[in-house]
Amino acid sequence: MNVTKQMIVVMTVIGVLSSVVLAASDMVTKGMIAKNQQKALEAAVFKVLPGAKTYEAIGTETFSAYKGMNEQRQLVGYAFIAEGPGFQGTIRMMVGIDPEFKSLFGMDILEQVETPGLGGNISTEKFKRQFSGLTLAVDGVTSASGYGDVSYISYVKNIAPQKPGEIQAITGATISSKAVVKTLNSSLTQLAKLLAQ
C-alpha cells in the first residue's frame, strides 16, 4: 500500500472515531444539560415569585410564562421570560408580577452580553432592585385589549424616578437600560394578552 492510500485510510479511521466519540458525548451530556436548564429555570421562577412553592407553564411556543402557586395552590403571581435585543446582543430576563397585574415582584437577568462596566451593569443588584415592587404605570389587563405595546415601564436619566413605572437608567448605558424597558413593556403586553384569553 502506498503512502497516499495509508494516509486516506488513517484519516478515514480518525474521522469515523471522532464522529462516534462526539455523538456518544452528545448523548451522554444532553440529559445533564436539560436537567441543569430545568433547575436554573425553577430557581429563576422562585426567585422572582416570592411565596411560590410550585408553578405550571401557561405560555405559548413563542412566549414562556408560568403561574406560581403557594402551598395551598393559591395563585401568588406570574413569572415570564422577557427576551429582546440589547446594545451588543440578546438580553434575557425572568420577571415576576403580582396576580392583579399592578406591580412587579422582581426581575433577574438570565443572559446578557452588554459592554462590561457600562451596559453590563444591568446585571447588578442596584439596577435589578429598581424592579422589586415597581408599580406599573397602567393596568395592563384592560389596556392590552387594544393593539400595540402598552408603556407599563419607562426610564429617566440623571434624576430619581418620580412617577409609577419609572426606573433610573444606568449612566453611560442608556441604550441597554432602554432595551430592558422596551423588552419588558413588550413582554408585559404579551402576558396581558395571554391572561385575557
Domain of residue 167: give its range.
49-196
CB 133 within 8 A of CB 104: yes
Asked, for residue 76, whether it belongs to a domain, the answer is yes
| Domains of the chain: total | 1
C-alpha cell at 51: 411565596
The answer to the question of residue 34 being in a domain is no
Residue 74 lies in a domain: yes
Is 117 part of a structural domain of the chain? yes
Whether residue 39 is contained in a domain is answered as no
Residue 134 lies in a domain: yes
Q: Is residue 14 part of a domain?
A: no
Instruction: Give percent of the chain above pLDDT 70.
Output: 94
pLDDT tens figures, 73-100: 999 999 999 999 998 899 999 999 999 9
Cell matching residue 195:
391572561
Over the stretch 122-147, which tens digit does the pLDDT of each residue have? 999 999 999 999 999 874 444 444 44
Q: What is the model's pLDDT at position 148?
A: 53
What's the average pLDDT block by block, 10 residues per block, for the chain (197 residues)? Answer: 80 86 81 83 92 92 94 95 92 95 94 89 94 81 49 90 91 90 94 88
pLDDT number for residue 145? 44
In a domain? residue 19: no
